[in-house]
C-alpha cells in the first residue's frame, strides 16, 4: 500500500507520543465539574458514619454510653471497640508491622483518636449522634517530645506492648522505643571523624507536616448480602493492596471483594494507608445490610490520618581542608506518634532515608534511626516523597551548607568538588544503593549559569555592605539545592508492603478497528496518567494516543499492581506499559509479515506500521494489522491482539535536579519575597513535558509551604494547634512564587524507555532551596542552623537573636 499523503514526521506527530506536550485529556471532565469523587457516590439506602474523637492526647477511657446517641432520630448504630472485639477487628495491622486501635480499646494515645463510630441516615444525624455519645476519660501524663519519651521514667504509652523487647524491626530498647535501624560502617566512619581535617556537626529538624490533599480520605462500603460481595469505593492510592488487606483482616474471600478508586482529589501519600474509617464502614455495612459512607472533614484529616516527616537528624560531616568530603554520620530520632503506621516497604523502617549521602561521592558513612512512640497522631507517610527521601535530601543539603560555613567556602563550589562524576555511574553508595545514571556537573553548571550565580553573589556582597551601612533593612539569600531522588520501588526482592512485592502492571487490548484500552495497576490522583501512559503506547505501537482509553483503580478489571505513591508510576507501571506494548508489537510483526507474505525478520517497524525492509512502500499499518488479528486465520498465531506485563524493576531510578531560590528577607518584619525560583529536573526520558512542568509547579509550591510556614504543631498537653486551614499554611496564588523550569536528560539505563519518576522531585528539591535561602541571607551575620518552618516570626527571631534589631 502506498502512503504519499503524510511524511514520517507528520505520522509521528499524529500519534502524540512520547515527548509531545499533549494536553491533559482528564481536564475536560475536571474543569467542567464532571469528576466522580467518593463523596459524589450515592447509593440507595446509603447510611453515613462519623467518629467520636478523643479530646485528650493520652487518657484512659473508663466508660462509653451510647444511649443518648441511639435515641436521636436517624441514628442507626454506634460501634465501639467492644462491638468490634468479637470480630477481632478492634485493632488492625499497620503497614509498618505494628498494630493500631480501630476504636479506642481502653485508652487513647493522641488527640483526635477514633473512639466510637456513629452510623445514621444522614451525615447531620451522624454528627448529632457523635455529640451525644458520653465518654468518660481519666487523663494520663502526655509526652509529645520524642527525646523525653525515651527517658527512663517516661510514661508507658503502648501498654499493649509492655514487656515486649522485640518489635517488627528488631529489639526495642525502651518501652516507648519502636526500632533501631542501622546502615553503613560505624567503626570506619568514627575513624574518619576522629582523623579528619574538619568535622561539622549539626542537629537538623524536619518538622511534622501533612499532605493535606484538597479531597480528604473517605470510602463507601457496600456489602451485598445476596451475592456475598463487598464493594468498597475509596480514596485509595493502592486499591489492590487494600483489597488484599481487607480480605486478610476480614476473612472475606478476595474474589468477593471489589475495591474501586474513583477520581481522587490529590493523594500525596495521605491515601496509602488503611484507616479506622474503612474498617468501621465495612463492619457497619455488614451489620446494617446497607451501604455506608464515611468521609473525613478537614479537621479530621489534619488531626488523625497520615502526618509526614518529624525527623530529628543529628549529623556529622568530615572533610579535608580543601573541601573533599570523607565521611558522614547521621543519627535520627523519628517521632512516629501513638502507633507505627508509617507507609514504607517492609524491610525499610526508615524508608529510603539511607539515600542521605545525596549527590555526593562520600566514601564512608553510617546511619542509625530510632523510631519512637509519642502522644501524637500516627502516620509517617511519604508526603510526595519516596519513603523519607525528602528528609534525607534536606539533611544532606543542610549539612553541605553547614560544612561550607565551617570551611569558609562557597557552597556551590563545595557541591561541585564532591558530586559523583558522570563516569562513576552506576554508582554504589556507602549506605547501600546503586544509583543508575547521572550527570550532576552538567546540570549544576547549567543551573548556575541560568541564574547568573556570580552576579547574584556580587549583589549579595553589596547588599551586606549596604545593610551594615544602614542603607537597607533587607537581606538577600541565595538558596542552593542539588538533590538525588530514589523512586520506582522497587525490585520485588527488596521492596514489599505486608509481603506484597512492589511490581506493577499494564494490560493492553487493541480493538479490531485499531483503537485500544489500557489498564494499569496504578491510580492517578491528578498526575495525568490517562494522558501520559497513552503516549508511551502510541510511540511503542503506533496507535494515536487519542485512540487509547486508559483505566485504573478498579480491582475487578485492572491487573494487580501496588499503586501510585513515591513517584513509582512512571518508573514501574510506565515500564510495564512499554513491555506490554512490545509484546503486542512482536505479535503485530508476525501478522504483518504474514499479510505481506515475507518472513517475520523481513519487516521492520516504522512509526505506525510494519514495512518490508528495503521496500518501505510495501507496509501494513497498525490499524490494518489490528483488523487482521480479529478477522484472519493466521497459521500459528492466536486471534486477538492484547498483552499484559507485570514488571519487576531491576533497580530503582535516580532522578536528580538543581534548584536555586533567590529570596529577599525583611529583617524587621521577618517577611520574605521569592525573587526567583529556578528548577532544573532530570527525570530521564520525558514523556509529557507539559505534565512534568505542572508537576514541578505543584511540588515546588508544596515545598514552599513546608519550608516557609506549614506545620503540624502540638502544645505540651498534646493539643493539636494547626487542625484547620486558618492555622495550617496553604499558599494561595498570592504567595505562590513564579517558577523558571529547565531540564537535562540522562536516561535510566535499565528502564525500557529510559524514564525516571518526577512527581515528588520538586517537593524533595525545593524545601532545601527555600530553607537554604533563609540561612544564606543570615550567613554573613553568624547563622548556622535554624529550624523550619521559616515563617515571619521565626525569621524575625533569627534576626533578633543575631542582634540585627539594634
Ligand atoms: O507515581 P506518580 O504518578 O505520582 O509520579 P511519576 O511517575 O513521577 O509521574 C507523574 C507524571 O509525570 C506522569 O503521569 C507523567 O505524566 C509525567 N512524567 C513524564 O511525563 N515523564 C517522566 N519521565 C516522568 C513522569
Mutation test of ligand 1: which of 691, 756, 762 has the most ligand atoms closer than 8 Å to its C-beta?
Answer: 691
The one catalytic residue in 11, 12, 53, 384 is: 384
Number of the ligand 1 atom closest to the C-alpha atom of 689? 20
Tens digits of residue pLDDT in 729-788: 999 999 999 999 999 999 999 999 999 999 999 999 999 999 999 999 999 999 999 999
Mutation test of ligand 1: which of 524, 692, 743 has the most ligand atoms closer than 8 Å to its C-beta?
Answer: 692
The one catalytic residue in 237, 527, 695, 710 is: 237
Q: Which residue has the cell 506484597?
A: 500
Task: Give CA separation, 254 vs 84, 244, 246, 481, 601, in Å.
Answer: 21, 6, 8, 46, 44
- What is the Å distance from ligand 1's center to 327 Cα? 34
> Is the Cβ–Cβ distance between 368 and 349 less than 8 Å?
no
- What is the Å distance from ligand 1's center to 578 Cα? 14
Tens digits of residue pLDDT in 686-723: 999 999 999 999 999 999 999 999 999 999 999 999 99
- CA–CA gap between residue 343 and residue 236 (Å, rounded): 13
Closest residue CA from atom 16 of ligand 1? 532
- What is the Å distance from ligand 1's center to 805 Cα? 47
- What is the Å distance from ligand 1's center to 568 Cα? 8
Per-residue model confidence (pLDDT) at position 4: 52
Residue 136, SS3 per DSSP: strand
Domains of the chain and any CATH numbers: 8-35+504-647 (3.30.365.10), 38-140+216-264+271-304 (3.90.1170.50), 307-489+652-801 (3.30.365.10)
Lining ligand 1 with CB less than 6 A are 527-529, 532, 564, 567-570, 683-688, 691-692, 695, 755-759
- What is the Å distance from ligand 1's center to 621 Cα? 29
- Helix (H) or strand (E) holding 630, with range, is helix 622-631
Query: Across the chain, what does the average pLDDT equal?
Result: 96
- CA–CA gap between residue 306 and residue 55 (Å, rounded): 18
Which residue in 690, 697, 698 sits closest to 24, CA to CA? 690
Render 150-179 in DSSP notation, one character per residue.
TSTTPPPS-GGGTT--EETTEE-SSTTEEE
- What is the Å distance from ligand 1's center to 11 Cα? 25
Mutation test of ligand 1: which of 27, 533, 569, 753 has the most ligand atoms closer than 8 Å to its C-beta?
Answer: 569
Q: What is the pairing mode between strands 99-101 and 672-682? A: unpaired
Closest residue CA from atom 2 of ligand 1? 567
Closest residue CA from atom 15 of ligand 1? 532
The one catalytic residue in 26, 397, 552, 760 is: 760
Is residue 384 flagged as an active site residue? yes
Per-residue model confidence (pLDDT) at position 742: 98
Query: Angle between the 276-288 and 239-250 helix axes, to the nearest 10 degrees?
Result: 60
Which residue in 407, 394, 763, 701 sits closest to 566, CA to CA? 763
- What is the Å distance from ligand 1's center to 153 Cα? 48
Closest residue CA from atom 14 of ligand 1? 529
Per-residue model confidence (pLDDT) at position 5: 59
Question: Please, which residues bridge with residue 79 across strands?
Answer: 117
Is residue 428 flagged as an active site residue? no
Is residue 219 flagged as an active site residue? no
Number of the ligand 1 atom closest to the C-alpha atom of 655? 23
Q: In which residue ranges of the chain is pLDDT below 70?
A: 1-5
Q: What is the pTM of this model?
A: 0.97
Tens digits of residue pLDDT in 522-575: 999 999 999 999 999 999 999 999 999 999 999 999 999 999 998 899 999 999
Provide ipTM, 2 decimals.
0.98
Is residue 604 flagged as an active site residue? no
Annotate 740-765 with b (16+ C-beta within 10 A) or e (fewer). ebbbbebbbebbbbbbbbbbbbbbbb
Per-residue model confidence (pLDDT) at position 1: 46
Mutation test of ligand 1: which of 387, 758, 763, 764 has the most ligand atoms closer than 8 Å to its C-beta?
Answer: 758
Amino acid at each position: 500500500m502506498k502512503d504519499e499523503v503524510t511524511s514520517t514526521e507528520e505520522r509521528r506527530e499524529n500519534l502524540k507520543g512520547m515527548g509531545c506536550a499533549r494536553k491533559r485529556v482528564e481536564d475536560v471532565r475536571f474543569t467542567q465539574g464532571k469528576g466522580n469523587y467518593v463523596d459524589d457516590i450515592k447509593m440507595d439506602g446509603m447510611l453515613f458514619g462519623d467518629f467520636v474523637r478523643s479530646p485528650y492526647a493520652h487518657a484512659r477511657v473508663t466508660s462509653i454510653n451510647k444511649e443518648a446517641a441511639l435515641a436521636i432520630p436517624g441514628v442507626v448504630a454506634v460501634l465501639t471497640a467492644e462491638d468490634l472485639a468479637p470480630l477481632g477487628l478492634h485493632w488492625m495491622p499497620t503497614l509498618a508491622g505494628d498494630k493500631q486501635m480501630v476504636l479506642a480499646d481502653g485508652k487513647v494515645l493522641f488527640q483526635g483518636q477514633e473512639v466510637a463510630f456513629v452510623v445514621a441516615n444522614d451525615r447531620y444525624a451522624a454528627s448529632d449522634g457523635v455529640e451525644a455519645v458520653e465518654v468518660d476519660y481519666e487523663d494520663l501524663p502526655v509526652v509529645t517530645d520524642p527525646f523525653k519519651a525515651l527517658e527512663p521514667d517516661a510514661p508507658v504509652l503502648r501498654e499493649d506492648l509492655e514487656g515486649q523487647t522485640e518489635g517488627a524491626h528488631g529489639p526495642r530498647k525502651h518501652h516507648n522505643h519502636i526500632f533501631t535501624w542501622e546502615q553503613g560502617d560505624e567503626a570506619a566512619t568514627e575513624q574518619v571523624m576522629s582523623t579528619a581535617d574538619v568535622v561539622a556537626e549539626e542537629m537538623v529538624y524536619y518538622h511534622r507536616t501533612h499532605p493535606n490533599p484538597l479531597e480528604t480520605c473517605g470510602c463507601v462500603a457496600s456489602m451485598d448480602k445476596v451475592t456475598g460481595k463487598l464493594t468498597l469505593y475509596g480514596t485509595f492510592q493502592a486499591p489492590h493492596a487494600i483489597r488484599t488487606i481487607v480480605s486478610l483482616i476480614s476473612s472475606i474471600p478476595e474474589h468477593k471483594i471489589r475495591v474501586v478508586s474513583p477520581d481522587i482529589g490529590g493523594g500525596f501519600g495521605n491515601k496509602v494507608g488503611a484507616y479506622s474509617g474503612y474498617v468501621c464502614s465495612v463492619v457497619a455495612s455488614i451489620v446494617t445490610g446497607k451501604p455506608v459512607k464515611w468521609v473525613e472533614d478537614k479537621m479530621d484529616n489534619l488531626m488523625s490520618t497520615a502526618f509526614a516527616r518529624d525527623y530529628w537528624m543529628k549529623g556529622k560531616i568530615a572533610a579535608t581542608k580543601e573541601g573533599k568530603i570523607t565521611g558522614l554520620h547521621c543519627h535520627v530520632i523519628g517521632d512516629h506518634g501513638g502507633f507505627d503506621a508509617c507507609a514504607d516497604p517492609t524491610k525499610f523502617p526508615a524508608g529510603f532515608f539511607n539515600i542521605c549521602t545525596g549527590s555526593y561521592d562520600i566514601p564512608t558513612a553510617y546511619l542509625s534511626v530510632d523510631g519512637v512512640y509519642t502522644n501524637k497522631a500516627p502516620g509517617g507517610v511519604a508526603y510526595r516523597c519516596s519513603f523519607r527521601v525528602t528528609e534525607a535530601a534536606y539533611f544532606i543539603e543542610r549539612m553541605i551548607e553547614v560544612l561550607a560555613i565551617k570551611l569558609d567556602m562557597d557552597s556551590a563550589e563545595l557541591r561541585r568538588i564532591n558530586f559523583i562524576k558522570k563516569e562513576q555511574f552506576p554508582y554504589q553508595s556507602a549506605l547501600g544503593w546503586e544509583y543508575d545514571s547521572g550527570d550532576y556537573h552538567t546540570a549544576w553548571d547549567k543551573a548556575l549559569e541560568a541564574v547568573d550565580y556570580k552576579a547574584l553573589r556580587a549583589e549579595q556582597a553589596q547588599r551586606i555592605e549596604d545593610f551594615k551601612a544602614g542603607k537597607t533593612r533587607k537581606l538577600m539569600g541565595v538558596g542552593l539545592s542539588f538533590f538525588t531522588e530514589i523512586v520506582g520501588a522497587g525490585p520485588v526482592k527488596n521492596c514489599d508492603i505486608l509481603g506484597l512485592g512492589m511490581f506493577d502492571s499494564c494490560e493492553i487490548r487493541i480493538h479490531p478497528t485499531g483503537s485500544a484500552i489500557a489498564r494499569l495497576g496504578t491510580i492517578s490522583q491528578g498526575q495525568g496518567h490517562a494522558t501520559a501512559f497513552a503516549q508511551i503506547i502510541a510511540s511503542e505501537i503506533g496507535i494515536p494516543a487519542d485512540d487509547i482509553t486508559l483505566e485504573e483503580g478498579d480491582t475487578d478489571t485492572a491487573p494487580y499492581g501496588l499503586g501510585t505513591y513515591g513517584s513509582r508510576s512512571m518508573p514501574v507501571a510506565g515500564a510495564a506499559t512499554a513491555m506490554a506494548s512490545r509484546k503486542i508489537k512482536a505479535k503485530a510483526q508476525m501478522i504483518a509479515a504474514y499479510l505481506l507474505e515475507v518472513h517475520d525478520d523481513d519487516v521492520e517497524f516504522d512509526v505506525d506500521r510494519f514495512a518490508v525492509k528495503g521496500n518501505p512502500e510495501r507496509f501494513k499499518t497498525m490499524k490494518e494489522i489490528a483488523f487482521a488479528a480479529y478477522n484472519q486465520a493466521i497459521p500459528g498465531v492466536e486471534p486477538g491482539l492484547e498483552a499484559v506485563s507485570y514488571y519487576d524493576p531491576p533497580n530503582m531510578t535516580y532522578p536528580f535536579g538543581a534548584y536555586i531560590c533567590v529570596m529577599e528577607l525583611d529583617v524587621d518584619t521577618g517577611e520574605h519575597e521569592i525573587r526567583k525560583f529556578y528548577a532544573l529536573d532530570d527525570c530521564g526520558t520525558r514523556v509529557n513535558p507539559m505534565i512534568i512542568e505542572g508537576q514541578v509547579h505543584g511540588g515546588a509550591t508544596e515545598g514552599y509551604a513546608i519550608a516557609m510556614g506549614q506545620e503540624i504543631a502540638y502544645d505540651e498537653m498534646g493539643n493539636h494547634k494547626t487542625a484547620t486551614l486558618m492555622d495550617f499554611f496553604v499558599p494561595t496564588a498570592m504567595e505562590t512564587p513564579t517558577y523558571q523550569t529547565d531540564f537535562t536528560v540522562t536516561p535510566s539505563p535499565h528502564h525500557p524507555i529510559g524514564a525516571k519518576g518526577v512527581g515528588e522531585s520538586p517537593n524533595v528539591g525545593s524545601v532545601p532551596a527555600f530553607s537554604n535561602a533563609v540561612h544564606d541571607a543570615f550567613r554573613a551575620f553568624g547563622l548556622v542552623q535554624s529550624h523550619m518552618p521559616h515563617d515571619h516570626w521565626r525569621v524575625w527571631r533569627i534576626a533578633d537573636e543575631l542582634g540585627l534589631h539594634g
